[in-house]
Amino acid sequence: MKQFKLTAVVIFLFFWTESLTLPTKSQDVDNFQVTQKFIEDNVGYLTIIAFAQYVQEATLEEVEVLVKKMIEFRDKCVADRTLAECAKLANDILQKSICAMEGLPQKYNFSHCCNKSDFERRLCFLYNKKADVGFLPPLPTVDFETKCHAYQQNREFFLNNYIYEFARRNPFVFSSTLLTVAAHFEEVAKTCCGEEDKASCFGTRAAPVIQNLKALSSYQKNVCGAFMRFGPKILNSIYTAVLSQKFPQIEFKEVVSLLEDISSQYNGCCEGDTVHCIQGMSNVMSHICTKQNSISSKVKECCKKTIPDRGECIIYLDKDEKPKDLPVREAKFTDSKDVCQHRDADQENFMAEFLYEYSRRHQDLSIPELLRIGEEYENLLADCCKTENPPDCYGHAEEKFNETTEKSLKMVKQECERFQNLGKDDLKYHYLVKITKMVPQLSTEELTSLSKEIVAALDMCCVQSEQFACVDNLVDLVLGELCGVNKNQTINPAVDQCCKSSFAFRRHCFEGLKADKTYVPPSTSQDLFTFHEDLCQAQNGALQRKKERFLVDLVKLKLQSKDEELHSLLTDFTNVMEQCCKTDGPESCFSEEGPKLEAKSQAASETN
Ligand SMILES: *[C@@H]1O[C@H](CO)[C@@H](O)[C@H](O)[C@H]1NC(C)=O
Ligand SMILES: *[C@@H]1O[C@H](CO)[C@@H](O)[C@H](O)[C@H]1NC(C)=O
Ligand SMILES: *[C@@H]1O[C@H](CO)[C@@H](O)[C@H](O)[C@H]1NC(C)=O
Ligand SMILES: *[C@@H]1O[C@H](CO)[C@@H](O)[C@H](O)[C@H]1NC(C)=O
């Protein structure tokens, strides 16, 4: 493993040259060669992914020009691996080639990146990625006959097109994930194109594939966002908790050793280096599979698979059983007399080991909750080790942990009760009001999308036995989206503070937020209360969106109003709509009722 890491971290080869340190252990050599072959075979796709993620506006035709170039480059290097240019970092070569494309940097406004070099350039391209893809045209709706015809006529073009569209719309998702998703998608196409009822086949089979892409993308964005904001330490904490909880029989030293590979993987994947990302993922999986005996017996089936399916298989594995003889508490951390001495000897390692011991014992907690406990413990020792009698002080650690967990459990319990008590629409309105009050600066689309995600999380989690972990994990992802991946959001001071103060306690921080005080509402109600006949034509989804838009705009206008008041005005709006649309002349009804509603809204404001 050691040698391997060196190549992965120091420089990353597109095509393996003989001149550099090569892995020595046979397992490593195998994995290295297999991965290298995989990368060489998939140069086209990896180029599409990188280009479409860095320059999301680029057209598929432009991307394909680069694909041709990179394939020629691969062939040159495969023919003669000693060429100097073949030893360069793949991502650098790719970015250099993007910059060399005539007129493109100006057309898509990234010439400032091309002016930079090395690390700076890579960072610049990374910052160029836009998480909010509202500027892209909606995906063309093509009927399934045409789709299948396209697939059967030209499989390569069909897949290129899908990978391109997936990549530019999910600019942070890992290349390894996109390749797996594309492969699954092809299976769906193969099956469904042979069916009579293609539409319903695609409908049922493609949905889970897209769902999987969204879920993994959301998770990866969140971890990369944390990594970029808080550095490698948070990544190590997250994965210490993840690995220990999933594989409670793993030894601590194995966790530590895996973290090195995981950190290298995330370095590549978060940066958007598609080649390094594949290599990194492959290293982590190979590491897990070669050390199966000291990690988990459950990974065996996954290890029979090849890249990139192996990775996905391991990600979706159920948690392994705890060792039978595991005591409920690890005495070393709370009961021993020498806790402070142990901590002082190697603080980082000590804290990591605590997190490991706690996580493998608490499989029902969420990852953020485990991180909260870790942070709590670190702060507790910082205080206790200064006192006269530290053991007296840290002897109460477990009570403290329980208090923190109680608080988080209570939050989730309330959220799920709300889910049970309110209908789906009212639940959505609740979160629309809550989130708009917190971040009125965001667009209506962003606000509705965030609320929708929270509602979807509750919908999925509240009925599960692992309710707490499920809700806490998923709602935290939504906050991660709000906080941003590759840029530090500047939304408003209170929200920015929650995003940057503590990754672990982010949920608690947001929970305490009140309506933003810095927001200056629009000076007039604009035409919020001017309604037209088109409202009457809106049905189902469209009608729902109109209501949501009305509510969001209303909240922006009346940020300090009570929730009940806002909900009541929404009800009035609905009533006006129903009432007027029933009449022969909706327009004249609207022009009468609109101002009344506006007056009511203003009267309500004045009583505040
Ligand atoms: C081009 O990019 C620069 C730097 O990111 C930015 O300041 C400028 O507003 C962008 N121009 C356009 C037209 O998007
Ligand atoms: C790039 O560098 C050149 C030469 O240094 C300069 O003239 C040009 O304005 C720079 N372009 C951008 C977008 O920074
Ligand atoms: C903490 O909570 C756990 C699980 O609910 C319980 O078993 C334990 O007794 C509690 N410890 C303390 C000190 O309250
Ligand atoms: C965001 O802020 C952190 C420190 O608060 C800094 O380390 C990081 O580089 C910043 N990220 C960006 C994209 O500016």
Residue 366, φ and ψ in degrees, nearest 5: -85, 165
pLDDT surpasses 90 at 8: no
Residue nearest to atom 12 of ligand 2 (CA): 112
Whether ligand 3 lies within 6 angstroms of the CB of 402 is answered as yes
pLDDT tens-digit readout, 407-444: 999 999 999 999 999 988 899 999 999 999 999 999 99
- Low-confidence winner among 206-220, 225-239, 540-554, 591-605 (lowest mean pLDDT): 591-605
Please give the distance, rounded to the nearest whole angstrom, from the Cα atom of residue 331 to the centre of ligand 3: 15
Whether ligand 1 lies within 6 angstroms of the CB of 517 is answered as no
For residue 488, which atom of ligand 4 is closest to its CA? 1
pLDDT surpasses 60 at 514: yes
Please give the distance, rounded to the nearest whole angstrom, from the Cα atom of residue 112 to the centre of ligand 1: 9
Whether ligand 1 lies within 6 angstroms of the CB of 155 is answered as no
Residue nearest to atom 14 of ligand 3 (CA): 399
Q: Which residue has the tokens 């060669």?
A: 33
Average the pLDDT over 475-493 and give the result: 92
> How far is the C-alpha of 148 from the C-alpha of 316, rounded, in Å?
30
A 10 A CB-CB count for 185 gives: 20
DSSP bridge partners of 89: 13
Question: What pLDDT, on the 0 to 100 scale, is given for residue 400?
Answer: 94
Residue nearest to atom 2 of ligand 1 (CA): 109
Q: Per the domain annotation, does 268 fall within a domain?
A: no
Contact call for residues 549 and 531 (beta carbons, < 8 A)? no
Residue 104, φ and ψ in degrees, nearest 5: -65, -45
Whether ligand 1 lies within 6 angstroms of the CB of 109 is answered as yes
Q: Per the domain annotation, does 538 fall within a domain?
A: yes
Cα–Cα distances (Å) from 97 to 69, 90, 91, 426, 549, in that order, read: 8, 11, 10, 51, 44
pLDDT surpasses 70 at 9: no
pLDDT surpasses 70 at 14: no
pLDDT surpasses 90 at 585: no
Question: What pLDDT, on the 0 to 100 scale, is given for residue 26?
Answer: 55
Q: Report helix angle 60-79 to 90-99, nearest 10.
A: 130
Total domains in the chain come to: 1
Average the pLDDT over 2-16 and give the result: 31
Question: What pLDDT, on the 0 to 100 scale, is given for residue 314?
Answer: 92
DSSP bridge partners of 41: none
Q: 605 pLDDT band (50/70/90 cuts)?
A: low
Q: Which residue has the tokens 């069909």?
A: 158
Mean pLDDT of the chain: 89
Q: Per the domain annotation, does 45 fall within a domain?
A: no
Please give the distance, rounded to the nearest whole angstrom, from the Cα atom of residue 100 to the centre of ligand 2: 15
Question: What pLDDT, on the 0 to 100 scale, is given for residue 1?
Answer: 27
> How far is the C-alpha of 268 from the C-alpha of 32, rounded, in Å?
16
pLDDT surpasses 90 at 511: yes
Q: 132 pLDDT band (50/70/90 cuts)?
A: confident
Contact call for residues 600 and 575 (beta carbons, < 8 A)? no
pLDDT tens-digit readout, 311-344: 889 999 999 999 999 999 898 999 999 999 999 9
DSSP bridge partners of 13: 89
Nearest ligand to the CA atom of 328: 3
Whether ligand 1 lies within 6 angstroms of the CB of 112 is answered as yes
Task: Report the predicted TM-score, pTM, of the whole model to 2 decimal places.
Answer: 0.90
Contact call for residues 476 and 221 (beta carbons, < 8 A)? no
Q: Per the domain annotation, does 584 fall within a domain?
A: yes
Whether ligand 2 lies within 6 angstroms of the CB of 115 is answered as yes
Whether ligand 4 lies within 6 angstroms of the CB of 496 is answered as no
Three-state secondary structure string covering 472-505: HHHHHHHHHHHHCCCCCCCCCHHHHHHHHHCCCC
Question: What pLDDT, on the 0 to 100 scale, is given for residue 12?
Answer: 33
Whether ligand 3 lies within 6 angstroms of the CB of 398 is answered as yes
For residue 109, which atom of ligand 1 is closest to its CA? 1
Residue 292, judged by CB atoms within 10 A of its CB (0-12, 13-18, 19+), counts as middle
> How far is the C-alpha of 273 from the C-alpha of 91, rounded, in Å?
6
Which residues, including other chains, have CB under 8 Å from residue 548's CB and lie 6 or more apart?
428, 429, 432, 444, 448
Please give the distance, rounded to the nearest whole angstrom, from the Cα atom of residue 328 to the centre of ligand 3: 10
Question: What pLDDT, on the 0 to 100 scale, is given for residue 408?
Answer: 97
Residue 100, φ and ψ in degrees, nearest 5: -80, -5
For residue 111, which atom of ligand 2 is closest to its CA? 13
- Low-confidence winner among 285-299, 327-341, 384-398, 520-534 (lowest mean pLDDT): 520-534
Whether ligand 1 lies within 6 angstroms of the CB of 514 is answered as no
Residue nearest to atom 12 of ligand 4 (CA): 487
Q: 208 pLDDT band (50/70/90 cuts)?
A: very high
Q: Nearest Cα to 550, choosing from 436, 453, 452, 441?
A: 436
Residue nearest to atom 2 of ligand 4 (CA): 229
Whether 572 has a binding-site annotation, put simply, is no
Please give the distance, rounded to the nearest whole angstrom, from the Cα atom of residue 37 to the centre of ligand 2: 39
- Would you call 153 helix, strand, or coil by DSSP? helix
- The CATH number of residue 586's host domain is 1.10.246
> How far is the C-alpha of 491 from the C-alpha of 514, rounded, in Å?
14
Residue type, 606: E
Q: Nearest Cα to 40, choosing from 5, 7, 4, 73?
A: 73
Q: What is the number of alpha carbons within 13 Å of residue 99 lying toward its C-beta? A: 18
Question: Is the pLDDT higher at 31 or at 367?
Answer: 367
In angstroms, how far is the first alpha carbon of the chain from the final one?
Answer: 66
Whether ligand 3 lies within 6 angstroms of the CB of 399 is answered as yes
Q: 586 pLDDT band (50/70/90 cuts)?
A: confident
Contact call for residues 371 and 237 (beta carbons, < 8 A)? yes
Q: Per the domain annotation, does 497 fall within a domain?
A: no
Among 373, 402, 405, 407, say which to mutate for ligand 3: greatest number of ligand atoms within 8 Å of CB: 402
Q: Per the domain annotation, does 79 fall within a domain?
A: no
- Low-confidence winner among 34-48, 114-128, 139-153, 217-231 (lowest mean pLDDT): 139-153
Q: Per the domain annotation, does 243 fall within a domain?
A: no
Whether ligand 1 lies within 6 angstroms of the CB of 106 is answered as no
Q: 354 pLDDT band (50/70/90 cuts)?
A: very high
> How far is the C-alpha of 576 from the C-alpha of 403, rounded, in Å?
48
pLDDT surpasses 80 at 454: yes
Q: 603 pLDDT band (50/70/90 cuts)?
A: confident
> How far is the C-alpha of 562 from the C-alpha of 587, rounded, in Å?
31
Among 54, 104, 106, 109, say which to mutate for ligand 1: greatest number of ligand atoms within 8 Å of CB: 109
Whether ligand 1 lies within 6 angstroms of the CB of 115 is answered as no
Residue 251, φ and ψ in degrees, nearest 5: -85, 155
Three-state secondary structure string covering 539-553: CHHHHHHHHHHHHHH
Q: Per the domain annotation, does 567 fall within a domain?
A: yes
Sign of CA dihedral 246, 247, 252, 255: negative
DSSP letters spanning 379-446: HHHHHHTTSS-HHHHHTTHHHHHHHHHHHHHHHHHHHHHHHHHS-HHHHHHHHHHHHHHH-TTS-HHH
Percent of the chain past pLDDT 90, that is, above it, reads 71
pLDDT tens-digit readout, 140-154: 777 888 889 989 999
Residue nearest to atom 13 of ligand 2 (CA): 112
- Low-confidence winner among 21-30, 241-250, 522-531 (lowest mean pLDDT): 21-30
> How far is the C-alpha of 362 from the C-alpha of 99, rounded, in Å?
50
Average the pLDDT over 67-79 and give the result: 92
Average the pLDDT over 553-565 and give the result: 90
Both tokens assigned to 180: 């797996």
Question: What pLDDT, on the 0 to 100 scale, is given for residue 4?
Answer: 28
> How far is the C-alpha of 49 from the C-alpha of 53, rounded, in Å?
6
Q: 29 pLDDT band (50/70/90 cuts)?
A: low
Question: What pLDDT, on the 0 to 100 scale, is given for residue 27?
Answer: 59
For residue 328, which atom of ligand 3 is closest to its CA? 7
Residue 223, judged by CB atoms within 10 A of its CB (0-12, 13-18, 19+), counts as buried
Question: Is the pLDDT higher at 34 or at 141?
Answer: 34
Average the pLDDT over 93-98 and give the result: 95
Question: What pLDDT, on the 0 to 100 scale, is given for residue 487?
Answer: 86
Among 106, 110, 115, 116, say which to mutate for ligand 2: greatest number of ligand atoms within 8 Å of CB: 115
A 10 A CB-CB count for 284 gives: 23
Q: Report helix angle 26-41 to 43-54, nearest 10.
A: 70
pLDDT tens-digit readout, 253-305: 999 999 999 999 999 999 999 999 999 999 999 999 999 999 999 999 999 98
- Low-confidence winner among 2-11, 293-302, 530-539, 590-599 (lowest mean pLDDT): 2-11
Average the pLDDT over 174-190 and give the result: 92
Question: What pLDDT, on the 0 to 100 scale, is given for residue 296?
Answer: 94
Structural domain boundaries, residue 569: 533-607
Find the largest Cα–Cα distance for the chain.
84
For residue 396, which atom of ligand 3 is closest to its CA? 13
For residue 114, which atom of ligand 2 is closest to its CA? 1
Residue nearest to atom 2 of ligand 2 (CA): 115
